[in-house]
Chains A and B, each alone.
Chain A
Amino acid sequence: MDNLVEIRWHGRGGQGAKTASLLLADAAFNTGKYIQGFPEYGPERMGAPLTAYNRISNDPIRIHSNIYNPDYVVVVDDSLLTAVDVTAGLNQNGAIIINTTKNGDELKSLLKGYSGDIYTIDVRKISIETLGKYFPNTPMLAAVVKVSGVIEEKDFLKDMEGSFKHKFAKKPEVIEGNMKALEMALKEVKKI
């Protein structure tokens, strides 16, 4: 199980963090991996902090508990940086990926004591530019794939195109925008 990758998502109810974790599980499954994708269910309210998890491995996954020492943490909403201890247990060799426009110094002061890698991406800009509306989960998913390397970019894009064609069979006009969002996100996620 040395190849096991554990990812923890922090979002707010209604932003699609749960959906994004399930999409990541799907994409990894489609490239032949063993996967787990599960949210931590609580009182489900719009805007309330929400946690979701992924395990991805080349071997069958047997453990059934939440993730306490993730390799990667994904923060879909940067207002959570002051509300939740997002780096709790985060592997120092891993990374945190934040959807934000804040600069490196601001983030470092918010993530007190965390010395691992920080990646940022302005998902709102990408989403508005490519989809015309704020749908954070598609670009966020691409950022996670890029930083974690759990799926080959080429395989990921091919698989996502297939899923979009299926999911948006009745709205084919949005497929191109979603693919653009993924491609832009793959390019724009930056280490600080």
Chain B
Amino acid sequence: MSIRERLSGNEAAAIAMKQINPDVVAAFPITPSTEIPQYFSTFVSNGTVDTEFVAVESEHSAMSACVGAEAAGSRAMTATSANGLSYMWEMLYIASSLRLPIVMSLVNRAVSGPLNIHNDHSDAMGVRDSGWIMLFSENNQEAYDNLIMAHRIAENKDVLLPLMVCQDGFITSHSIENIELIEDDKVKTFVGKYEPEHYLLNSEEPIAIGPLDLQAYLFEHKYQQAEAMRKAKKVILDVAKDFEKMTGRKYSFFEEYKMQDAEIAVVCMNSTAGTTKTVVDELRKKGIKAGMLKVRVFRPFPAKEIAEALGNLKAVAIMDKADSLNAMGGALFEDVTSSMYTAKKQVPAVSYVYGIGGRDTTAKDINEVFDYLQKIVKTGEIDNPYRYVGLRKGDE
């Protein structure tokens, strides 16, 4: 029997970490993820977990400490947001290239500047090529479930890559909502013991980690990283199957909502998916064949599967909560449209940038997107594929 609770997204992430009971947590507080290490440090001082908590002086050191701990042979976790993640940037690449399955809870927030503490996905999009597996979460439940699945994916011998679980800052991190928790012992069995094959503190096998890697080998090592990311796809699905057996909750690369017979659809990530579902339901009542695809696994990107899922639509809008400032379209838009091009699926597609810096994304905004998709279907024309929703115009 699962445990019925009500928790904020940050509380949910901290409780997942408590149940995982990692060997090391190294973190530096930053809004809106501050509560995660804050709650976790109380678990440490109460003796609820036997984790070594390293209160570092910066995020660069937080990730460095995680790299050191994981390389030594222990399980390490951290949490951060926005500029904290930016400050880790150098070490994120070290972590993934050293094949260290560190797990991070990333509470998404706008990267400065100007200074903004609210939600968008510019932090996550800035590290999308750093070699981390990236899972996105619609609500507190998914933030929790993704963390429970994280180590099984990251530590798999075919993967050995770090993994971050994203959720929307404030919108889910600070909202109290219902959640079903899994019993401690079940989580413990599911996550399992960490048994690294090669690690620094193994006196039987003295090794060096992270030495110089020049023309002769770096290319091959990068290829191995890329292979690991490709192989992660199967592992993610395998772990999701086991998770479903335990909880009844089903996860995949993405969630399809009323996509079976959909003619128009919105592709989005994190909390906006929930709002979009309510809009899809309203449109369906009016006989409009609307659907939604919520991307859960952003890295590795499930290109073939997404192209397949969207291939029969008459028009699709891909929504990015970060502007790539590239005069071309958001990051998710680029990935989805190139997936479709490669799979020879020709569907009229538009990029929508929305919700920047915590701009509230309402059902009305999502309706506006669906309205435009209907217009595309009717006229067969797209006057401008690089669009914004929720942006104030003129003197509004």
Contacts and interface: CB of A to CB of B under 8 A. Distances in A.
Nearest to A4: B278
Interface string A61-74: 11111101000000
B278 A36 contact: no
A25 B179 CA distance: 13
Contacts of A63: 274-275, 278, 363
B174 interface: yes
A34 B118 CA distance: 25
Nearest to B171: A64
Question: Which of B6, B171, B275 has the most A CB atoms < 10 Å from its CB?
Answer: B6
A92 to B, nearest CB: 19
A65 B390 CA distance: 12
Interface in B183-212: none
A35 B174 contact: no
Contact of A29 (B6, B272, B277, B278): B6
A6 to B, nearest CB: 12
B168 interface: yes
Contacts of A39: 174
B176 A37 contact: yes
B361 A61 contact: no
A36 B176 contact: yes
B278 A37 contact: no
Interface string A15-47: 000000010011001000011111101000000
Contact of B178 (A38, A41, A60, A65): A60
**A interface residue count range (under 10 / 10 to 19 / 20 to 34 / 35 or more):** 20 to 34
**B interface residue count range (under 10 / 10 to 19 / 20 to 34 / 35 or more):** 20 to 34
Interface in B100-123: 117-118
Contacts of A68: 362
B363 A64 contact: no
B109 to A, nearest CB: 11
Contacts of B174: 38-39, 41
Given A25-B6, A26-B6, A68-B362, A62 B175 contact: no
Nearest to B270: A64
A83 interface: no
A66 to B, nearest CB: 5
Contact of B175 (A34, A37, A60): A37
A41 B357 CA distance: 12
B170 A41 contact: yes
B275 A36 contact: no
B351 interface: no
A151 to B, nearest CB: 14
B305 interface: no
Contact of B6 (A1, A35, A60): A35
B172 interface: yes
B178 A35 contact: yes
Contact of A25 (B176, B272, B360): B176
Interface of A: 1, 22, 25-26, 29, 34-39, 41, 60-66, 68
17 contacts: A34-B178, A35-B178, A36-B177, A38-B171, A38-B174, A39-B174, A41-B170, A62-B275, A62-B278, A64-B139, A64-B272, A64-B274, A65-B360, A65-B361, A65-B362, A66-B362, A68-B362
Interface of B: 6, 117-118, 139, 168, 170-172, 174-178, 271-272, 274-275, 277-278, 360-363
Given A41-B118, A41-B174, A64-B139, 8 more contacts: A34-B177, A37-B176, A38-B175, A61-B178, A62-B274, A64-B271, A64-B274, A66-B362
